[in-house]
């Protein structure tokens, strides 16, 4: 039996998270809480857990700043070199990036309605299906590359949504009924080619910190 484990982390809270702005592939700085969350994730991963043995062989992140800055805390704590992979980026939202959700809801209600569709791509953007195919291909590549090992990925809410759907075979058309918190730790393994959800939404390391659920778009 060959078991490969992926520890998937959502980046720390950003300024645009708190302002409820669509980030997409633009960037926003981590807030003070976001930096605290990132440090807490690093400390948690350095501790022994029934879900991981601490023998991590690789650390990857999206190349967007909020993911990289979160991953740097892990890199320093665990002394594992960070590798950035653009396939782990959040969805590209084109002209919506930087705008608030309230503004889009009030000023472009038809576009906001379309965002619920998995096949819809906003102007200059990509669809959820395109993101799903891009990011799950990356995930499977990393599982192949690290067979029998445990590796860490720092990425985004929408990417993690796709990882869970792939692991549990949840149709893309189904509404999301699970949370994806900033600074959460999620564990997915592959055993002899079969995906298994080990744990989801671990946040005990965040203690009394504020946590924001991922954008449901």
Active site residues: 11, 90
Q: Which residues contact 6 (CB under 8 A, 6 or more apart)?
A: 139, 142, 143, 150, 151, 152, 153, 163, 187, 188, 189, 190
**Within a 10 A sphere around the Cβ of 170, how many other Cβ atoms?**
15
Q: Is 178 exposed, middle or buried (0-12, 13-18, 19+ CB in 10 A)?
A: middle
Q: What are phi and psi of 187, to 5 degrees?
A: -125, 120
Cβ atoms within 10 Å, residue 5: 22
Which tokens is 206 given? 């965040």
Cα 187 from chain centroid (whole Å): 12
Environment class of 149 (CB within 10 Å of its CB; exposed 0-12, middle 13-18, buried 19+): middle
């Amino acid at each position: 039996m060959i078991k490969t484990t992926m520890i998937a982390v959502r980046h720390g809270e950003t300024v645009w998270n708190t302002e409820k702005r669509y980030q997409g592939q633009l960037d926003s700085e981590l807030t003070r809480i976001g930096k605290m969350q990132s440090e807490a994730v690093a400390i948690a991963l350095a501790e022994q857990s029934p879900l991981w043995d601490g023998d991590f062989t690789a650390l990857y992140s999206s190349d967007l700043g909020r993911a990289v800055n979160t991953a740097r805390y892990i890199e320093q704590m665990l002394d594992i070199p960070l590798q950035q992979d653009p396939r782990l980026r959040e969805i590209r939202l084109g002209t919506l990036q930087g705008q608030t959700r309230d503004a889009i809801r009030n000023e472009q209600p038809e576009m906001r309605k379309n965002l619920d569709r998995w096949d819809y791509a906003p102007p200059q953007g990509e669809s959820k299906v395109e993101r799903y195919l891009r990011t799950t291909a990356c995930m499977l590549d990393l599982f192949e590359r690290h067979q029998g090992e445990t590796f860490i990925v720092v990425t985004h809410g929408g990417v993690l949504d796709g990882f869970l759907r792939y692991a549990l075979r949840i149709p893309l058309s189904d509404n999301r009924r699970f949370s994806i918190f900033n600074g959460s730790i999620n564990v997915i393994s592959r055993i002899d080619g079969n995906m298994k959800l080990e744990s989801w939404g671990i946040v005990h390391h965040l203690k009394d910190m504020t946590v924001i659920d991922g954008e449901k778009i």
